[in-house]
Amino acid sequence: MKFSPYAWAKLIYLRDRGPTEVGGFGISDPGQPRFVKDIVLVSQSCTEVTVAFDDAAVADFFDDQIDVGRPPEQFARIWIHTHPGRSAEPSGVDHETFARVFGNCDWAVMFILARNGATYAELKRSGNPHSEPLSVGIDFRDEFTGSNQATWEEEYQQCLQEVHVIPNWDLNFWPEDECYLSEQWTWLPI
């Protein structure tokens, strides 16, 4: 799996922008399906341990991509997200989400970038019960444009809603299977 310098710079910016996870879709090159040219965010609610995409925003994103002539292989097969901690290893929820959301695709990639630069990438192919680990690199062969932090910040502000998790005060510890949301006052599975 390769990233353009632009996509990699944007991903680092998004990873370091706030204290939560950030998720998006990789936009790939038509001739190289695992070469990420850009990363696009959709509206999402994020905590330090979760990302929840807004379903309507994902549908709108897919419609917009089809309207500009991209096939799903270019915009709907590479799920990218960050971990604000030191580990890029996927959680059980990451694995479950990847299987549930991308399990019917002919192929899909889950990519994670941790705060310390650690990466994780796996490829799942239809009909193969085992995923394949992918190496990760940045392709500097072509000329590239510089960063665009003002646009990235605007996208971040438009798409992310930080949700702060507080412990269930009655239990006086972080429960293993659930946390309490301070802003929505509902239970959020980890």
> In the predicted model, what is the mean pLDDT of residues 25-37?
95
Residue 84 has what pLDDT? 95
Long-range contacts of residues 97-101, Cβ cutoff 8 Å, at least 24 apart: 98/122, 98/124, 99/124
Compute and round to an integer the Cα radius of gyration of the chain: 17
Classified as helix, coil or strand, 132 is: strand
Give backbone dihedrals phi and psi of 96, rounded to 5 degrees, phi first: -65, -45
Residue 167 has what pLDDT? 56
* pLDDT for residue 177 is more than 70: no
Q: Predicted confidence band at 141 (pLDDT cuts at 50, 70, 90)? A: confident
Strands 119-125 and 132-133: antiparallel
* pLDDT for residue 190 is more than 80: no
> In the predicted model, what is the mean pLDDT of residues 15-43?
96
Give backbone dihedrals phi and psi of 105, rounded to 5 degrees, phi first: -80, 150
> In the predicted model, what is the mean pLDDT of residues 93-121?
96
Enumerate the H helices of the chain as residue ranges: 5-17, 55-67, 72-75, 92-102, 149-159
CA distance 66 to 2: 23
Is there a contact between 116 and 148 (Cβ–Cβ < 8 Å)? no
CATH number 3.40.140.10 given to 2-162: yes
**Token output for 127:** 């009909």
> In the predicted model, what is the mean pLDDT of residues 136-160?
91
DSSP string, 69-118: T--HHHHSSEEEEEESSS--PPPHHHHHHHHHHHTTSSEEEEEEEETTS-
Please indicate whether residue 124 or residue 173 has the higher confidence score (pLDDT): 124
Residue 89 has what pLDDT? 97
State the CB neighbour count (10 A cutoff) for residue 136.
Answer: 16
Which residues are registered as beta bridge partners of 179? 188
pTM of the complete model beyond 0.85 = no
Q: How large a percentage of the chain has pLDDT more than 90?
A: 77
CA distance 177 to 151: 37
CA distance 161 to 189: 17
Q: Predicted confidence band at 181 (pLDDT cuts at 50, 70, 90)? A: very low
* pLDDT for residue 185 is more than 60: no
- 75 alpha-carbon distance from chain centroid: 12
What's the first-to-final CA gap in the chain, in angstroms? 28
